[in-house]
Amino acid sequence: MTHVAKTIAATSHPAARVPPESTGAVRRQWSVAEVLALYELPFMDLLWRAQSIHRRHFNPNDIQRSTLLSIKTGGCSEDCSYCSQSARYATDVERERLMPLAEVVTAAKAAKDRGASRFCMGAAWRSPKEADLEKILDMVREVKALGLQTCVTLGMLKEGQAEKLRAAGLDYYNHNLDTDREFYGRVIQSHSHDDRLDTLAQARDAGINICSGGIIGMGESRKNRAAMLAQLANLDKPPESVPINNLVPVPGTPFGELPPLDPFEFVRTIAVARIIMPSSYVRLSAGREDMSDELQALCFLAGANSMFYGARLLTTDNADAERDDALFARLGLNAC
């Protein structure tokens, strides 16, 4: 047991008596009860533990920056209750065709010039058709040639598609679990929780790194959040990147009127993700535009070491680059 774990276990708070974290040398399986116990630690103890673990695996002042571009917007047939791009809901998002290759490459060059190291491309559909996939393979090749890491989120993959993406040079496939199995039917009904896991398995089997996390603030319980994180940590190999999204309520969607999540609960989620997935990049994702600089600093202290960088995340606003650059300067953080 580490010095940090011994100190926390010795406190009088019952929830502090949780097992020591994985050091990365030996994988362990996390029960939902164990993850929930981490959530219930006193806030300062939780951040201390998360920051201590973070420093064993990463430079605490390095933040990986990714840029996300919607290459095909709107008109999705799925019924994800949070999503502005679902064709089932009346939102302000208009349906658009797949972007031309030249426009994607121009956007990728601009992202690299601003300091992003990874370029993520998202398409709103249930799964890619073969004709569309061929165009996306060209995008992956061209973006990769710029010296950027490549990532796509294309919905559910069909047999053989992951292998084609890997051959084109894809580094990461993003496919969030969104929430745990118990709460999943309250969020999405047009496909199953197992469908998500199947796509993650296909990408992993093809040799592609996994980017998978979830959305919090959708009305789920703390136990649901703990169960989602435990499932990610207990995959055969945890995701290399774990995006933690704070729900952005979109008018016209079923979740458009939900109240905001307690900010400290968001920070707790970052910290717990860091503790149980010590070698993964934990990413601040959707919802960051409305976070104060102070809240973001707490997230970095809790172990977040990745963020989306740029003014848009698919169809929602994100903090602008100038504000992020100023925050990095104030905190002494380095883009990587």
Question: Count of residues for the chain?
Answer: 336
Could you say which of 65, 118, 196, 211 is catalytic?
211
**336 a catalytic residue:** no
- Distance separating alpha carbons of residues 330 and 326, to the nearest angstrom: 6
**299 a catalytic residue:** no
Could you say which of 49, 65, 118, 151 is catalytic?
151
Could you say which of 49, 83, 196, 225 is catalytic?
83
Could you say which of 65, 118, 120, 274 is catalytic?
120
The three-point CA angle 88-92-94 to 5° equals 75
**283 a catalytic residue:** yes
Could you say which of 225, 283, 288, 299 is catalytic?
283
Could you say which of 49, 65, 76, 274 is catalytic?
76
Catalytic residues: 76, 80, 83, 120, 151, 211, 283
